[in-house]
Chains A and B, each alone.
Chain A
Amino acid sequence: TTLEPDQKSILTDNDWKKLWMRGGINGDSKLDNNLDSSDSPMFEDSELMAHNTTVQLGGTAFLVCKVSGVDRVGVNWNQISWIRRRDWHILSSGAQLYTNDERFAILHTPGSNMWTLQIKFVQRRDHGMYECQVSTPTGIISHFVNLQVVVPEAFILGSGELHVDMGSTINLVCIIEKSPTPPQYVYWQKNDRLINYVDSRRDITIETTPGPRTQSRLIIREPQVTDSGNYTCSASNTEPASIYVFVSKGDNMAAISRRKTSSADRLTHIFRSMLAPCLLLNTVVVRHIFLT
């Protein structure tokens, strides 16, 4: 009988990726609570040491890591590091930056025990787990911060068009949600001109109710044909939402004409957006021909 060693199954690519992600889930268990605080560094229990941080798209995030026992044991500067768990990208080591992404920075005052990771112009892809890691003689201790990137959204109830007759009432409702702080003001525009401060017309009313789900209502009583146009709602931290309002005398032919105009504008936009991809595609084709 040939003596064959028992081959243990080796992790495949997918397996180690799962292991990778699972590490993030079980990361908190890595926090070694048995370390003697007088001999090894440990994380201070502080309000600043949040485990969840919410930041707005395009905003600036501050992830705080406060370590005690650093000076006592003479821990070197390069043993406190920030890591992005999404792809295990090292961001910093001590006060020095490792990543070349210029949006990252380390805020540290020499002599203090706080290493704050600053992320400017936060993108959607920055969402995820970040780890502050301290080296110890037996391995590491970690503090995890989950960064949530929220994108405030504005939308107007109803479809993209609204048809009303003269003498009726235009009633537009704009909802702004997913904002870390409620916007203080909601702007209404008609054909790119602000409506909020037009005091000459008494029949326009704007009511805004701030909250987790901010609601702003635009009411135009007894509209005229000249009130037709593109109405836009936006806040300081959102992309604008638009709706086209048609005010008619009851003549359907005019409405159909305006729709055609709208369609033409859309086709123009589509044509322009196709230009750049065609250009790049041409370049790629040339490179392909050359390589072949």
Chain B
Amino acid sequence: SRFTNRRIMFLIYMTNLVTHVMMDEPRFAQPIPNVTVAVGRDANLPCVVEHLGGYKVAWIHIDRQMILTIHRHVISRIPRYSITYTDNTWLLHVNQAHQDDRGYYMCQVNTNPMISQVGYLQVVVPPNILDIESTPSSVAVRENQNINMTCRADGFPAPKIIWRREDGEEIAVEKKKKVLVYDADVLPLTKVSRNEMGAYLCIATNGVPPSVSKRIILDVEFSPMIWVPNQLVGAPSGTDVTIDCHTEAHPKAIIYWVYNSVMVLPSKKYKTDYTENSYRAHMKLTIRNLQYGDFGNYRCISKNSLGETEGSIRVYEIPLPSTPSKQVTHTTVESRENNIIPSSRNDTTKSLQTDVGYAMKNDLYPGSASSSSSGGSSSAASSSSSMQTSALPGGVAGNSLSSMGSKGSLAIGKSTFYTERPPNEYAASSVAGLLLHRALLFGSGIYLTLL
């Protein structure tokens, strides 16, 4: 019985001693935060250890399976790693981070058994459009054919690619469904029409600024076509008359006028005007001081590498109203009857002229509207240079970028790893230690009584 009591007392004493020692063991005051850094930037990983005493702290890059630092020594010969120590914090510096630096980093203390914890360093890479794997900056396709425009980009995380037209128009995809923004690497255009000609923007984003974009100009080629608003134009001799044709063609067409199988050249008699908007053209021919030899059939012709077309306009003579007045002077008796007839004829002539003028105005109005609408795309198409620009057109895209920037920060859960021993959760204050010590003695007393 005495021997048993001694053994019990010894065990209680040893337990108390071990507990006391544990309170002064090193422990991690806080977990290693997960850090996100852009490639080429600097990152810091803190490891906060309390009650370090004579123990040493070491850093390991687990993904590389490489020792980085032990105490204040930098073991790794990669010069981008360094270590600083201030106020219980062992700070691992990673300068000009590489993608290879991505991964878990372990901070360990050489207690026996050792304690350790890990944190994750995320190295992100801004997006970069791969020109070799993407559609060239300028591409041509025949009308009604299909074309796939491709845009590839790398980066970390993998970038998301969207397509939009530079002029803000909608894109026709997937059985002619119209969208303002198309989300995919490949933009499939089927049965391309001339309206889809223009500049397209491929924008790559992955939450890491800056986002990048590539400008691709799509040329839709088709043979010329001509539209004649007025195929019959009448005018009196001695006056000027203007006839016009509307034509569409791409590539750009050669347009000219032909009269009596002879090409009409600008001269004192003829004046030619051309107004071009993108693939549209408005050609005008003004014939001055109409004479007998000027009446007849005029042809407007449009010709490009894919084909040729023409339109025909007939110019005819309208008699002048001064002829009836001569007849009046010849016959006195007939002059009374003639006075009535010439008056009605004059009225008819005036009415015809008025109708012609009104029709001309109507034709001009939609033409000018079309001209102004396609003016923007024309100026856009004229700039042939293509480049990857970090600036995005339009305020909407900019706003999206700014909002995406805040969302882009990666949230990685905390990860802490201890080996063979749970963390010491007791408070380090001496008062608690003293109370615990007395409680143990009290407990031992109870045990002895029971025994």
Q: Chain A residues in contact with chain B, CB under 8 A?
A: 1-8, 10-13, 16, 19-20, 23, 27, 30, 78-79, 81, 83, 87-90, 93, 98-101, 131, 133, 135-140, 142, 276, 279-280, 282-283, 285-287, 289-290
Contacts and interface: CB of A to CB of B under 8 A. Distances in A.
Nearest to A102: B112
B114 A6 contact: no
Nearest to B180: A1
A78 B75 contact: yes
Interface in B261-285: none
Contact of B114 (A78, A81, A87, A283): A87
Interface stretch (B57-65, B130-138, B167-175): B57-65
B365 interface: no
Contacts of B64: 139-140
Contacts of A89: 108, 114, 116, 419
A282 B441 CA distance: 12
A290 B431 CA distance: 13
A215 B160 CA distance: 71
A3 to B, nearest CB: 5
A83 B68 CA distance: 12
Given A3-B160, A280-B15, A287 B439 contact: yes
B413 A283 contact: no
Nearest to A290: B439
What's the dominant secondary structure at chain B's contact region?
Answer: mixed
Given A6-B158, A133-B65, A137-B78, 10 more contacts: A4-B404, A5-B205, A13-B417, A19-B63, A88-B116, A98-B58, A131-B65, A140-B76, A142-B65, A287-B436
B66 A140 contact: yes
17 contacts: A2-B403, A5-B157, A8-B156, A79-B75, A81-B67, A88-B62, A90-B58, A93-B67, A98-B58, A98-B70, A131-B65, A136-B77, A142-B65, A279-B12, A286-B442, A289-B439, A290-B439
Nearest to B60: A88
Given A93-B70, A99-B110, A3 B400 contact: yes
Given A279-B447, A283-B15, A286-B439, A16 B114 contact: no
A12 B413 contact: yes
A23 B62 CA distance: 9
A203 to B, nearest CB: 44
B419 A290 contact: no
Shortest beta-carbon contacts, A-B, top 10: A5-B207, A286-B443, A100-B112, A290-B439, A8-B157, A135-B77, A87-B419, A3-B400, A10-B412, A3-B404
Nearest to A20: B62
A191 B205 CA distance: 82
A90 B415 contact: no
B407 interface: yes
Interface in B157-216: 157-160, 162, 181, 183, 205-208
A1 B412 CA distance: 26
B120 interface: yes
B364 interface: no
B308 to A, nearest CB: 45
Nearest to A9: B157
A138 B98 CA distance: 12
A135 B60 CA distance: 13
B333 interface: no
Given A4-B160, A87-B114, A137-B78, A10 B108 contact: no
B106 interface: yes
A78 to B, nearest CB: 5
B401 interface: yes
Interface in B430-450: 435-436, 439-440, 442-443, 446-447
Contacts, number: 153
A167 B278 CA distance: 121
B410 interface: yes
A283 B401 CA distance: 61
A11 B414 CA distance: 11
Contact of B401 (A3, A11, A30): A3
Contact of A30 (B12, B65, B207): B65
Contact of B67 (A2, A27, A90): A90
A142 B12 CA distance: 47
A274 to B, nearest CB: 13
Nearest to A84: B114
Given A5-B407, A19-B62, A100-B111, A78 B440 contact: no
Given A89-B114, A100-B110, A2 B443 contact: no
A87 B205 CA distance: 39
Nearest to B156: A8
B342 interface: no
Contacts of A81: 67, 70, 75
Contact of B158 (A8, A276, A280): A8
A26 B402 CA distance: 43
B306 interface: no
Contacts of B442: 286
B73 interface: yes
B247 interface: no
A286 B436 CA distance: 9
A6 B70 CA distance: 37
A12 B34 CA distance: 12
B408 interface: yes
B387 interface: no
Contacts of A136: 77
B48 interface: no
Residue with the greatest number of chain B CB neighbours at <10 A, chosen from A81, A100, A285: A100
Contacts of B56: 98
B47 interface: no
B120 A10 contact: yes
B122 interface: yes
A285 B55 CA distance: 32
